[in-house]
Chain A
Amino acid sequence: MLNKNITFAVIFGLMLLFSIDVDAQWNIPAGEKDKKAPTEATVDMALKGKTLYMKNCKACHQVPKTTNLKPPAPTDLGSEEYLTSRTEGETFFQTFKGNGGSMGGFEGRLSEDEVWDIVHYLGTFRAGSTIDLASVQQDLDLKVNLKEDGHKIVAVATNAGVPAGDVKVLFSVKRYFGNLTLGVAKTNANGYAAVSFPNDLPGDKSGNAEIIVKFANQDRFGKKEVTKTVNWATVLHVENMTEQRAMWGTDTPLWLLFIYFGITIGVWLGIIYVVFQILKIRKVAN
C-alpha cells in the first residue's frame, strides 16, 4: 500500500513538473487557441483517432489514463491536468507543429483531418464528453476456413447467427516481434472476407506459419481472434554460418592449421636438433 502511495506521489510530482516546464517551452500563436475542428466530433472520428494515436503517439505518451510513464516522460494526454489546461485548438497545434524539441510535429506525416481525429479521441477523456466509444461496440462472431486451392484464408463474420456484411477483417501472420499484415478485406453480404496467403513468405523448417484473423476495428466489432496454423509458407533452410571454418570464425581453416603447425613444428625440430647437438659436445670431447 505504502509503495503504491509513493509511486502515486512520485508520478503526481512528475506531472506537476512537466505541466510547468513543458508549458513554458510551447509557443502557441494567439489565434490557434480558439481554433475549432472543421466538423463536430463523431464516434467514427474518435475511433479513427484512437487507431492513429496507438500508432503514432503511444510510443511516447502511452495509452491515455495509464500511469506507466517512462523516462523521459511526456505528458499523459488523457489526464485531467492536461485536458483542462488545453483547448482543442492548442492540442491540434501542438500535435501538428511540434515544439522543435523532443515533440516533433506531425505535419507532413498526418493530414489535418487525421490530427483532428486524434484530438477528438483525446476529447473522449474530457469530463462530460458526450462520445462514448464503448457504446458502439458489438460482439460479432468470427470463423475461419482454410482453402488449399489458392491458399485462401476465408473469414466468416456473423452477428447472432446473421451474416455481418461490410466489416473489415484483418489477416496477419505471426512473426517474432509482431504480426505481419497479409491483408484487410471487407466482408460481403454473406459475411465472407478472404485473402490469399503469399507464396513467398518464409515459415518454419516444415513450411508452417501461424495466421491470426481478427476484426480490423476491434472497438466496433469485438475482440474475437482466430489463430490457425497453415502449411503454405516456404520451407526455411538454415545454413549455420559458423560451421564454415571461416577466417572470422572460431574454428581455424584447415589450410591455415596445416601451415601453422607445419612451420612451427619444422622450426622447433631444428631448434631441438641444435640443443641435442650442444649436449653431444661433451660426448665427443676426445
Chain B
Amino acid sequence: MKIKKQLEQKDNNTKNTRREFLKKGVLAGVGTILAGGIVTSFNATASGKTVNVLGPDGKVKTVAKEHLKDIGKKTEAQLQKAGREGIPNRRWVMVIDLGKCKNDQRCMEACQTHHQLWTSKDGKGDKVQHHINVHELKRNEKSGGFFMPKTCQHCDNPPCTKVCPVDATYKRDDGIVLIDNLRCIGCRFCVAACPYSARVFNWHNPKDEEKYADKKYNVELNVPQKRGTVTKCVFSADRLREGELPYCVSACGNGVFWFGDENEDAVTNGTTKETVRLSKLLKDNAAYTLMPELATRPRVYYLPEKDRIFPFESKKKEGDVNHHA
C-alpha cells in the first residue's frame, strides 16, 4: 500500500526537475515509509505514533527506544528540574566548518522533524520554522559566496535571557540556552533582542499537535511545542544527555559540524565521528564567532570558508541583499 502510494507520488514528481524530486519527493516519501515501518514494528512499546522518534541518522530504533524509556521514566517535574540544572561539568560547544557546507539542508530537515516544526513542505508552505537555518552569504562584493548553517549561538552573554520577564528562557551551567514553553508568556521580547534571528514563535497551532497531545513536555527537546510560545535551538540537549550528537550534527553528510565539550577540549565530527582537540581546531583554522562586536560571546564557532570542498552555486536571485556576513 505504502509503496504503491510512493510510486504514485514518484510519477507525479517526475515532471519536476530531478533535483526537486530528490529534495522534495524522496525526502518526504522516505520519511513517510520509514515512519510507517517503525510505528508498525514498535507497536508494542510505543503506543503513540510518534514522529519525533524518527532519526535521519540511521539509528532510528535505538534512539526511539532510549528516548521513550527515558521520557517514560521521568515525571514532567523531574524533566523540568533536569532541564534547569543541565548536564554537570559540561560546557557544550559547536564548530561549523563553512568550507564544507554545500547547502544540503539535511541538518534543517532533521531538526524540524525532531522538534515538531513546520517545514516548507507542510500545507501551503506559509508557516516555516527553523531552529537551524542555512544562509547564503558573501563577505563583500568581490569575495565568493558561501553557505552558513546558523543555529542559536548559545551566547555566554545572551541578550535574549537578559530581557525575559519570567525566566522562561534561561542559560544553564553547561552553556545551553533553553526555553521553557510551560512558562513562556509569548511577549517575544527575546525574539526582538536576539541579533542572530535564532528564535521563532509558534504563531499557529504546532505541527501534528494531536499526535503530541498526550506527550510529557521535555524542556530539553522543547516538544510538544505550544502555540503562543517561543521556540529555539536547544543544542539537542535531550540527545546530549544520552551521549549522542545533536540531530543536525549527525544528519550532515559533509562533515560540516563539530560538536563537543569545551571542558574536555574535544569536539567530534558529526559525519566522520573523528574526535579532535577543540583548541587546536580553532587555533589552526582561524575560527571566529558571529558579530563579535556585540560581545555576546557565542558558543558556536565558525571556520572560514577558505578551501571550499564544493564549488559554490548561488541559489539567490539578482538583487537580493545580504546585510551582514
Interface residue ranges, A against B (CB under 8 Å): 3, 6-7, 9-10, 13-14, 17-18, 21, 24-25, 55-56, 59-60, 62, 68-73, 101-102, 104, 108-109, 172, 175-181, 201-202, 204-205, 236, 238, 240-242, 246-250
Contacts and interface: CB of A to CB of B under 8 A. Distances in A.
B104 A10 contact: no
> 4 tightest CB-CB pairs across the interface, nearest first?
A71-B30, A177-B268, A70-B58, A175-B266
Interface string B10-21: 100000001101
B167 interface: yes
Interface in B241-258: 243-245, 252-255
B34 interface: yes
B217 to A, nearest CB: 19
B136 interface: no
Contacts of B27: 71-72
Interface stretch (B116-124, B156-164, B316-324): B156-164
Contacts of B275: 172, 175, 177-181
B33 A250 contact: no
A233 to B, nearest CB: 9
Given A71-B34, A176-B243, A180-B277, A202 B19 contact: no
Interface residues of B, number: 70
10 contacts: A10-B33, A24-B18, A25-B18, A102-B22, A175-B260, A175-B275, A202-B264, A205-B89, A238-B89, A248-B171
B56 A202 contact: no
B279 to A, nearest CB: 9
Nearest to B87: A176
A17 B263 CA distance: 46
Contacts of A204: 89
Contacts of A13: 3, 6-7, 33
Nearest to B13: A21
Given A6-B41, A177-B266, 15 more contacts: A3-B40, A6-B40, A10-B3, A13-B6, A55-B274, A68-B60, A72-B106, A176-B90, A177-B245, A180-B275, A181-B275, A238-B89, A238-B173, A242-B171, A250-B170
Given A178-B275, A181-B275, A238-B89, A202 B173 contact: no
A227 B174 CA distance: 27
A204 B264 CA distance: 8
State the main secondary structure of chain B at its contact with A: mixed
B30 A72 contact: yes
A185 B276 CA distance: 18
B57 interface: yes
Given A72-B106, A175-B266, A177-B259, A109 B309 contact: yes
A250 B167 contact: yes
Given A71-B31, A238-B263, A248-B171, A21 B40 contact: no
Contacts of B7: 13, 17
B144 interface: no
Contacts of B260: 175-177
Contacts of B265: 201-202
A248 B22 contact: no
Nearest to B14: A21
A7 B22 contact: no
A62 B253 CA distance: 11
A90 B40 CA distance: 38
A232 B10 CA distance: 59
B287 interface: no
A176 B170 CA distance: 24
Nearest to B62: A68
A70 B243 contact: no
Interface string B26-64: 110111011011001100000000000001111111000
B75 interface: no
B2 interface: yes
B205 interface: no
A236 B6 contact: no
Nearest to A238: B89
